[in-house]
C-alpha cells in the first residue's frame, strides 16, 4: 500500500509540476513565432504605439548646412589588431570635414594602450581626422563608463557607437543620419549586423543564424509595427540629447545598450532600425568565447528585466506593447525553465512515471507551437539572408541544438541576473584581434565544460531509456552540451611534439 501511495504521489507531482516549465517554454517559443508572423506581414504606414517626447519641430533641410557634428565613439579593451582596421574604416567615412571627430575610448590593460595612441596619431596626421584617445585610470562602469566619459568631452550633437570589430562602409553616416536630422523625436538609429566570417565553421554559421533572426526578423518586425526597438551596442547613431534625457549611460547591468535604449523610449523618444544598412562584423570562432558572450547577454537582459520591468509594465503604452517588451527581455528565462524541466524528468525516468491526461495534451500543443514558432523565427532570418531551403533546415536545426549547449551556463546567468548579482564585463576574444593564444602546458580541465560533458552524456543516456513525450528535448539538450563542451576540453590537451 505504501508503495502504491508513494508511486501515486510522485506520479501526480510529475503530471502537474513538470508541465509548468514546459508550458512556459512553449509560450516563449510562440512569442518568437509571433515575431516571425509580424515580419512576414506586408509593411504598412508608419505607426507607433510609443508616445513621442515633446520636442521642437524639425528645422527645414536647408538650415542644416553644415550637417550636425558627429563623434564616433570606439570603446576598446585589449582589441589588438582590430583597432587599426576599425580606425581606417572610420577615416573613410564620407562626411564633411570639421563635422566629424573620433574618440578612441581605450581601457586596455594588456600593454597595447601606448601602441593604440601612436596608431591614432598616425592615422589622424595622415587623414586630417581628429582622433582623441581617452584612457581612464579605472575601468569603472566598463563599456558604459567609457562611453559616458567620452560624451563628457564632446559638444557633438550626434554620437556614433562602433565596436572595434565592425567595418562601416563609407556612406554609413549619409544613410543613417537622415532619420535623426528629419525628426528630433528619434533618439537613435540602429543598423543591421552583417558577418565577414560566417562560413568559417559550424559555430560561426550558428551565430549567423541566431543574429540574422534577431536583426532581420525581430528588429525589423518591431520597427515595422511601431514597437520599441533595442540598441545592439554597436553600429548605431545616438542623439546626445536623448541619452541625457534618459539618464545617460549606466553600468549597473551587463546590457548597457538594451538598458539605455529602453529608458530612452520610456522617456518618449523613438528608435529607427535600418535593415537595408548592413555593417560587417566578426563572429566568434571559439566555443568558449561564444559561451561567455551568451552568458553576458543572458545575464544582462535579466538584469535589465529586474531594473526596468516595473517601469515597462506601467509605461504609457498599449498592453500588447508592454507585453512585447517584457517578453523581449525575459527570453533568457527559457534556460532556467529548461533546466527545471530536465530535473523534473529525472524522477519520472527512474520510477517509470509518464505524465498523461488533458494537461499533458494541452502542454504538448503549446510546446509544439513553441518549437514551430522558434524554428520559423530562425529559418525566416536565414531565408531573408538569401539561403537555400536545404541550408535553412540544416542551420536552423543546428542553432536549436547549439542553444541547448548553453543550458547550464545560461541558467546560472539568468538566475544571477534576476538576483541582481553583479559581475565584470568579460570581453569576447575575436580572431581578427591577432592576440596570441596561451600555450598549452598540459591537461588543465576547465570545470564548466567538464561538467557540461558529463551532463551531456548523462542526458543522452536518459534519452535512450526515456519513453516519455519529452525525449526529443533530452536529445537536443545532450547533443548541444557535448557540442559546446568538447571543443573546449580538447583545446586544453597538450599533444606530444613529433619526434625528429
What are 250-288's pLDDT values in tens digits? 999 999 999 999 999 999 999 999 999 999 999 999 988
Q: What is the pLDDT of residue 208?
A: 97
pLDDT tens readout for residues 15-46: 456 678 878 888 899 999 999 999 998 765 54
Give the pLDDT of residue 448.
74
CA proximity to 238, closest of 209, 217, 269: 269
Q: One of 107, 165, 212, 429 is an active-site residue; which one?
A: 107
Cβ neighbourhood burial of 494 (10 Å; 0-12, 13-18, 19+): exposed
pLDDT score, position 463: 67
Report the pLDDT value the prediction gives residue 11, as an integer from 0 to 100: 45
Average pLDDT, the chain: 85
CATH topology classification for 67-280? Spore Coat Polysaccharide Biosynthesis Protein SpsA; Chain A (3.90.550)
pLDDT for 373 beyond 90: yes
What is the predicted pLDDT for the residue at 181?
A: 96
Over the stretch 199-220, which tens digit does the pLDDT of each residue have?
999 999 999 999 999 999 999 9
**Given the C-alpha cell 566619459, which residue does it identify?**
149
Kindly report the pTM of this predicted structure.
Answer: 0.87
| Helices 287-313/471-490 angle, 10° precision | 130
Q: Please tell me which residue in 163, 257, 259, 429 is annotated as part of the active site.
A: 257
pLDDT band at 371 (very low <50, low <70, confident <90, very high): confident
Shortest CA distance to 302 belongs to which of 435, 424, 416? 416
Mean pLDDT, residues 136-154 taken together: 95
* CA end-to-end span of the chain: 73
According to the model, what pLDDT value does residue 452 have? 79
Q: Where along the chain do its domains lie? A: 67-280
Phi and psi at 36, nearest 5°, equal -65, -40
* pLDDT tens profile 286-312: 988 999 999 999 999 999 999 999 999
Bridge partners (DSSP) listed for residue 72: 102, 160
CA distance 224 to 226: 6
Q: 104 has which bridge partners?
A: 74, 133
Q: Which helix (H) or strand (E) holds 497?
A: none
Confidence of residue 356 (pLDDT cuts 50, 70, 90): low
> Which of 53-57, 181-185, 279-283, 325-329 has the lowest average pLDDT?
53-57
Q: What is the pLDDT of residue 447?
A: 73
Q: In this model, does residue 161 exceed pLDDT 70?
A: yes
The answer to whether residue 257 is catalytic is yes
Nine-digit cell at 460? 543522452
pLDDT at 393: 95
Report cis status (omega within 30 of 0) of the bond before 66. yes
pLDDT at 442: 38
Place 78 in a pLDDT band, splitting at 50, 70 and 90: very high
Mean pLDDT of 466-480: 70
Whether pLDDT at 247 is above 60: yes
Distances from the Cα of 280 to the Cα of 283, 284, 379, angstroms: 10, 13, 21
Mean pLDDT of 451-459: 78
User: What pLDDT does 354 receive?
Assistant: 59
Let me know if 252 is a catalytic residue: no
C-alpha cell at 299: 545575464
Q: Is the pLDDT of residue 9 over 70?
A: no
Nearest alpha-carbon partner for 79 in 424, 425, 434, 426 = 434
Lowest mean pLDDT among 49-58, 188-197, 293-302: 49-58
Rg (CA), the chain: 24
pLDDT at 477: 82
Q: Is the pLDDT of residue 391 over 60?
A: yes
Amino acid at each position: 500500500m505504501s508503495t502504491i501511495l508513494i508511486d501515486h504521489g510522485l506520479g501526480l507531482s510529475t503530471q502537474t509540476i513538470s508541465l509548468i516549465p514546459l508550458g512556459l517554454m512553449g509560450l516563449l517559443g510562440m512569442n518568437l513565432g509571433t515575431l516571425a508572423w509580424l515580419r512576414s506581414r506586408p509593411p504598412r504606414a508608419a505607426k507607433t504605439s510609443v508616445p513621442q517626447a515633446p520636442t521642437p519641430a524639425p528645422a527645414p533641410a536647408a538650415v542644416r548646412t553644415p550637417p550636425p557634428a558627429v563623434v564616433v565613439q570606439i570603446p576598446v579593451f585589449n582589441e589588438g589588431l582590430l583597432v587599426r582596421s576599425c580606425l581606417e574604416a572610420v577615416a573613410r567615412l564620407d562626411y564633411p570635414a570639421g563635422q566629424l571627430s573620433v574618440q578612441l575610448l581605450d581601457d586596455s590593460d594588456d600593454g597595447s594602450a601606448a601602441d593604440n595612441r601612436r596608431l591614432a596619431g598616425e592615422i589622424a596626421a595622415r587623414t586630417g581626422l581628429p582622433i582623441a584617445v581617452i584612457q581612464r585610470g579605472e575601468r569603472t562602469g566598463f563599456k558604459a563608463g567609457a562611453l559616458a566619459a567620452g560624451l563628457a568631452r564632446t559638444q557633438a550633437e550626434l554620437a556614433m557607437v562602433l565596436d572595434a570589430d565592425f567595418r562601416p562602409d563609407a556612406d554609413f553616416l549619409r544613410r543613417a543620419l537622415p532619420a535623426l536630422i528629419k525628426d528630433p523625436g528619434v533618439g537613435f538609429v540602429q543598423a543591421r549586423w552583417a558577418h565577414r566570417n560566417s562560413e568559417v565553421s559550424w559555430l560561426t554559421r550558428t551565430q549567423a543564424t541566431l543574429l540574422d533572426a534577431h536583426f532581420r526578423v525581430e528588429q525589423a518586425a518591431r520597427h515595422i509595427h511601431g514597437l520599441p526597438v533595442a540598441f545592439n551596442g554597436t553600429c548605431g547613431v545616438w542623439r546626445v540629447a536623448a541619452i541625457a534625457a534618459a539618464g545617460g549611460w549606466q553600468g549597473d547591468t551587463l546590457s548597457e545598450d538594451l538598458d539605455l535604449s529602453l529608458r530612452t523610449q520610456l522617456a518618449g523618444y523613438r528608435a529607427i532600425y535600418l535593415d537595408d544598412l548592413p555593417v560587417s562584423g566578426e563572429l566568434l570562432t571559439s566555443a568558449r568565447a561564444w559561451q561567455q558572450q551568451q552568458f553576458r547577454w543572458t545575464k544582462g537582459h535579466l538584469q535589465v528585466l529586474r531594473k526596468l520591468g516595473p517601469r515597462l509594465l506601467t509605461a504609457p503604452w498599449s498592453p500588447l506593447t508592454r507585453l512585447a517588451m517584457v517578453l523581449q527581455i525575459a527570453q533568457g528565462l527559457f534556460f532556467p525553465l529548461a533546466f527545471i524541466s530536465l530535473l523534473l524528468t529525472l524522477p519520472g525516468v527512474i520510477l517509470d512515471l509518464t505524465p498523461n491526461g488533458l494537461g499533458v495534451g494541452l502542454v504538448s500543443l503549446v510546446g509544439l507551437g513553441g518549437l514551430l514558432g522558434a524554428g520559423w523565427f530562425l529559418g525566416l532570418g536565414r531565408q531573408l539572408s538569401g539561403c537555400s531551403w536545404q541550408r535553412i533546415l540544416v542551420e536552423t536545426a543546428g542553432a536549436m541544438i547549439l542553444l541547448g549547449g548553453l543550458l547550464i551556463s545560461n541558467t546560472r546567468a539568468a538566475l544571477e541576473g534576476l538576483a541582481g548579482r553583479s559581475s565584470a564585463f568579460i570581453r569576447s576574444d575575436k580572431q581578427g584581434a591577432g592576440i596570441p593564444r596561451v600555450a598549452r602546458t598540459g591537461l588543465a580541465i576547465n570545470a564548466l565544460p567538464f561538467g557540461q560533458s558529463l551532463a551531456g552524456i548523462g542526458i543522452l543516456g536518459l534519452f535512450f531509456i526515456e519513453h516519455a513525450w519529452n525525449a526529443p528535448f533530452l536529445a537536443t539538450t545532450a547533443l548541444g552540451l557535448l557540442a559546446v563542451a568538447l571543443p573546449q576540453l580538447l583545446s586544453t590537451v597538450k599533444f606530444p611534439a613529433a619526434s625528429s
